[in-house]
């Protein structure tokens, strides 16, 4: 069981910054995220795009902002449970929480801050009849373990980076790789496109374009796919079908935690501390809603700060405390490091 003070759900910018504000108050944080990497939308959707409305940064690439936030919080040694989705929550009699992921990892926390952005990213599923029947029976939306495809026939569908990159990677693993895309053009990075071109020449990847997978057949496992190639029907024998059409955010299991939901977002008390209708559970960043809500990273930072103060006050009732300024008091990490402003030298002038 992982234990922490504040369990943060979502490793986007708001969740990451919450670790810093919590750290200043000596509160430890652990973060769960459905994606295998930190950064949320910034890493998943637009790492190479600039953001122009982060105070103090005239322009910052989304990926760089994530990197900088990680640098800023590393003193506070946050724990991470990545590639897992927060599935269930149980409030114990003492007011603490047990949050369990879809893989069974348990987290015990004194407070929970949901910083899930638009929700957890889930694969966009192509519209093919009976595709859900074949999930885990030959239809895979992620390549979790490439070894699953060792010496197997696979068909990958999609035209973006992940379809191209996995086709390249699995060309050396699977016995046969077929890449199906609706157009002749691919929108992935140029070097990925070139690699696929090269592997196609070597006969390691079969490219089927412009084409679309329209049906799946097989008794208890995928055996054959229907494909429309330029309007003509064809079939292809395969062991696995891997549709890679990107990810879309869904509120998912959190929607069933008993929280008040409005317009796909969690209602919070913005007059005070961004707490939800369940005491001890907060929602910060893009996932919350209140009158006047703006889905901006900078607003998420503010919400994270107030949430941390509220948690501190709840956990330390009656304890005297005043807000500290980092320039004055420095930052003491949990790792023993200390950041502080340089002391001014007082020296007499002769």
- Cα–Cα distance for residue pair 123/125, rounded to 1 Å: 6
4 has binding-site annotation:
no
What is the rounded CA–CA span in Å between residue 257 and residue 245? 29
* Site residue total, other proteins (CB under 8 A): 25
Question: Between 297-315 and 13-24, two packed helices, what is the crossing angle to 10 degrees?
Answer: 40
> Is the distance from CB of 181 to CB of 163 less than 8 angstroms?
yes
121 labeled binding residue: yes
Q: How far is the CB of 150 from other proteins (least distance, A)?
A: 28
Residue 231's region, left for phi above 0, alpha for psi from -120 to 50, else beta, is left
In DSSP terms, which residues pair with 72 in a beta bridge? none
Q: CA separation (Å) from 282 to 62, 76, 84?
A: 25, 21, 20
Is residue 248 part of the contact set for other proteins (CB under 8 A)? yes
Measured from the CB of residue 173, what is the shortest distance to other proteins in angstroms?
24
Region of 65-73, 213-221, 247-255, 320-328 interacting with other proteins (CB under 8 A): 247-255
Give the pair of three-digit tokens for residue 69: 């936030």
245 binds other proteins (CB under 8 A): yes
Q: Is 90 in the site for other proteins (CB under 8 A)?
A: no
Does 53 contact other proteins by CB under 8 A?
no
**Is 327 marked within a binding site?**
yes
Q: Pick the closer one to other proteins by CB: 183 or 338.
A: 183
Report the SS3 class of residue 331: strand
Contacts (CB under 8 A) with other proteins, residues 276-335: none
300's tokens: 């998420």
> Where does this chain touch other proteins (CB under 8 A) — which range of 5-13, 140-148, 240-248, 335-343?
240-248
Among 218, 249, 280, 285, binds other proteins (CB under 8 A): 249
Among 55, 202, 203, 263, binds other proteins (CB under 8 A): 263
Cis peptide before 210 (omega within 30 of 0): yes
CB 170 within 8 A of CB 162: no
Using CB under 8 A as the criterion, which residues of the chain lie in contact with other proteins when the complex forms?
Answer: 41, 45-46, 49, 118-119, 124, 126-127, 158-160, 181-183, 185, 187, 245-246, 248-249, 251, 263-265
């Amino acid at each position: 069981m992982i234990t922490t003070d504040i369990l943060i759900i979502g490793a986007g910018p708001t969740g990451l910054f919450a670790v810093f504000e919590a750290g200043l108050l000596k509160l430890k944080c652990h973060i769960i995220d459905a994606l295998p990497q930190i950064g949320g939308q910034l890493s998943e959707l637009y790492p190479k795009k600039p953001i122009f409305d982060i105070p103090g940064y005239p322009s910052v690439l989304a990926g760089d902002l994530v990197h900088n936030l990680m640098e800023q919080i590393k003193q506070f040694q946050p724990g991470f449970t990545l590639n897992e989705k927060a599935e269930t929550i149980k409030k114990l009699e003492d007011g603490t929480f047990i949050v369990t992921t879809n893989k069974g990892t348990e987290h015990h926390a004194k407070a929970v801050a949901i910083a899930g952005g638009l929700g957890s990213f889930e694969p966009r599923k192509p519209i093919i009849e009976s595709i859900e029947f074949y999930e885990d029976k030959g239809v895979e939306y992620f390549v979790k373990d490439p070894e699953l495809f060792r010496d197997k026939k696979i068909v990958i569908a999609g035209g973006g980076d992940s379809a191209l990159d996995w086709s390249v990677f699995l060309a050396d693993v699977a016995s046969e790789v077929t890449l199906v895309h609706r157009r002749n053009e691919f929108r992935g990075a140029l070097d990925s496109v070139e690699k696929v071109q090269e592997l196609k020449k070597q006969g390691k990847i079969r490219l089927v374009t412009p084409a679309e997978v329209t049906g799946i057949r097989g008794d208890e496992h995928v055996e054959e796919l229907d494909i429309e190639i330029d309007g003509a029907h064809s079939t292809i024998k395969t062991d696995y079908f891997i549709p890679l059409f990107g990810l879309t955010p869904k509120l998912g299991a959190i929607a069933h935690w008993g929280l008040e939901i409005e317009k796909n977002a969690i209602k919070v008390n913005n007059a005070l501390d961004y707490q939800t209708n369940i005491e001890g559970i907060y929602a910060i960043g893009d996932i919350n809603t209140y009158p006047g809500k703006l889905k901006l990273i900078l607003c998420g930072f503010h919400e994270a700060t107030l949430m941390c103060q509220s948690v501190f006050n709840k956990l330390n009732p009656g304890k005297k405390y005043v807000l500290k300024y980092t320039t004055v008091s420095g930052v003491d990490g949990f790792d023993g490091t200390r950041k502080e402003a340089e002391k001014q030298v007082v020296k007499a002038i002769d």
